[in-house]
Amino acid sequence: MTAELDKTRIPQHIAIIMDGNGRWAAERGRERSFGHQAGVDAVRRITSECSRLGVKYLTLYTFSTENWNRPADEVTALMGLILSSLEEEIFMKNNVRFRMIGDMDRLPAEVQTKIKNLEKRTEKNDSMTAVIALSYSSRWEITEAVRKIATEVHDTQECPEITEETVTKYLCTNFMPDPELLIRTGGELRISNFLLWQCAYSEFYFCDTYWPDFDEEALHKAIIDYQGRQRRFGKTEAQVEEEVKSVK
């Protein structure tokens, strides 16, 4: 399937909702934590493959603000798994920079420290940026952006012009472009409060494969599907075709 990929049209930013760990484990008669551990292995291989293909940003939805409502023992296990899986090796080996988006203050102190250290140690890596959405939700992010804008207005006693660019500037994703491709594994057909602002014109790809089974071939299939679409951004098909001709 790799041969079918158009290497000139690899999406520069891929976002993934990694769903299905718990169901994958249940089908094997194991605890949910077993599925989350298998999901870490999928993160390693997909991070490596995206870097190899030339993707510049990979954003992984790891733990939402709503996930804090899960049973306490599962949350504790997830935090422990996140702490142990934030390994420098996968990022340094692939020249990948690590960044996190989300409500850092809600995370355990040792997780916060590990994240800050990893961000610092990988800040010069420039092959790809791997972004972990942790204690994140889009409504939280947009609410925080509005609060910051309002605070700035209050402090300066001036009301700046509020544009799309203004809002984008105050989002925690302001350092990267919007995702061209959003993938959700596990068979669910929703985006679960993830990058709502940024995904206004993203191409969505849903598959039944549980995240622990999502491999390089599955990633290629998603990208090939993306490459077969025409991205119009509100324009007509004829307009887009004319623009493509003019570029050629």
Contact 177, 13 (CB under 8 A): yes
pLDDT the model gives residue 90: 86
Least confident of 2-11, 38-47, 213-222, 237-246: 237-246
147: CB partners within 8 A, 6+ apart: none
Assess whether 213 carries a catalytic annotation. no
pLDDT in tens, 128-169: 999 999 999 999 999 999 999 888 876 666 666 789 999 999
67 belongs to the catalytic site: yes
Kindly report, residue by residue over 69-91, the tens digit of the pLDDT. Answer: 988 988 988 899 888 888 888 89
pLDDT recorded at residue 28: 96
For residue 147, give the nearest of 83, 206, 103, 114 by alpha carbon: 103
pLDDT at 246: 63
Domains along the sequence of the chain with CATH: 8-136+178-240 (3.40.1180.10)
From the candidates 6, 19, 69, 213, which is the catalytic residue?
19
Q: Classify strands 57-64 and 96-101 as parallel, antiparallel or unpaired.
A: unpaired
Please give the pLDDT value at position 101.
97
Distances (CA, A) of 4 to 14, 50, 78, 224: 18, 16, 37, 7
Catalytic residue among 21, 41, 67, 215: 67
Give DSSP secondary structure letters for 208-244.
S--GGG--HHHHHHHHHHHHTS---TTS-HHHHHHHH
